[in-house]
Amino acid sequence: MAQFIRRKKRFATAQTSRWDKMTSDNILKLKWYISKYTRDMPRSEIRLIVRKSFTMWSTQTIINSMPSVKLQFEEATYEDDADIVILWAEGDHGDAYKFDGTGNHTNILAHTFYPTYQENGRLNGDIHLDDAEKWISDSKGDGTSFPNVFIHEIGHSLGLGHSKRADAIMYPIYKKDMIDNASFDLDDKCALNWNYIGPTNLCLFVWLMSEVLPRQIEHKMNDYASGVDFNIIQRITEDGDSQSKISTLKEQLQAEERCEDTR
């Protein structure tokens, strides 16, 4: 069973979990397939968001004047041909990690399996979303913003963990901003390229600065040995209670840390 532990390192990417399909010229081609849709949004809208999210990862993660992984994504014609299978489900749904339903205290919206979750495993890289939640296609209205959650989940599917930089796509708390206005932080770019290309002085500097700058919050994530990322993503709305939500989450995480210290 997965445990939630505090991350001690930056750019620790699921025990160096990555796809082994990168070519000698740093091109990584992956196929995706949606096997089960939610009824909360039209299928055409879901597919548009998925394509746009993958395109953003392809176009915004290159670091100028440095060797970078070149991501290429395409839709598979059938599920067995896909590297990344995307689906919505509720409760028990065929893996070891059932969803907890809408409004539960853990607020798990999705979980994603890292590329090396299992040797030749069928779940590697797959993205599962809790269909008990109310999913919406933009940042307006009540519900969970699919674009904001999904673009974050792609990072986990590529082998990345959470970031401590509040402006990063891989930060575990999302703001309901329009995804069209989203941009990748240098931290996101460094995490990806550190994982697939290797360390650089620039990214080492980014990591060091991330460690010494003050944090808004501390966060938890699962034991990487399980190869699964559980997103306990707190919704930050514009209703004026953002700081109280952050404070509450921080208190919960600090309490968990105290419990872990006694084990």
Is 180 annotated to bind a ligand? Reply is no
Q: Answer whether 171's CB lies under 8 Å from 234's CB.
A: no
In the chain, how many domains are there?
A: 1
90 is catalytic: no
Residue 175 neighbours by CB under 8 Å, 6+ apart: 148, 236
* Stated length of the chain: 263
| pLDDT recorded at residue 104 | 57
* Section 125-134 average pLDDT: 95
Tell me whether residue 241 is annotated as binding.
no
- 135 three-state secondary structure: strand
Judge residue 197's burial from the number of C-beta atoms within 10 Å of its C-beta, 0-12 exposed, 13-18 middle, 19 or more buried: middle
Looking at residue 103, its pLDDT comes to 67
Range of the domain at 185: 4-261
pLDDT in tens, 172-190: 886 667 677 778 999 999 9
Dump the DSSP string for 39-83.
SSS-HHHHHHHHHHHHHHHHHH-PPTTS---EEEEEE-SSGGG-S
- Per the annotation, does 261 bind a ligand? no
Confidence of residue 219 (pLDDT cuts 50, 70, 90): very low
**Greater pLDDT, 8 or 68:** 68
Q: Of 259 and 117, which is predicted with more confidence?
A: 117
In the numeric block, which tokens belong to residue 178? 């329009």
DSSP 26: S
Q: How far is 236 from 53, CA to CA, in rounded Å?
A: 21
Largest CA distance in the chain: 51
**209 labelled as ligand-binding?**
no
The tens digit of pLDDT for each residue in 137-157 reads 987 778 889 999 999 999 999
Residue range 63-67: mean pLDDT, rounded: 89
Contact of 67 with 26, CB cutoff 8 Å:
yes
Question: At 16, which CATH number?
Answer: 3.40.390.10
Active-site hit among 45, 119, 153, 238: 153
Instruction: Look at the block and give the residue holding tokens 């989450």.
Output: 249
55 neighbors 10 (Cβ within 8 angstroms):
no
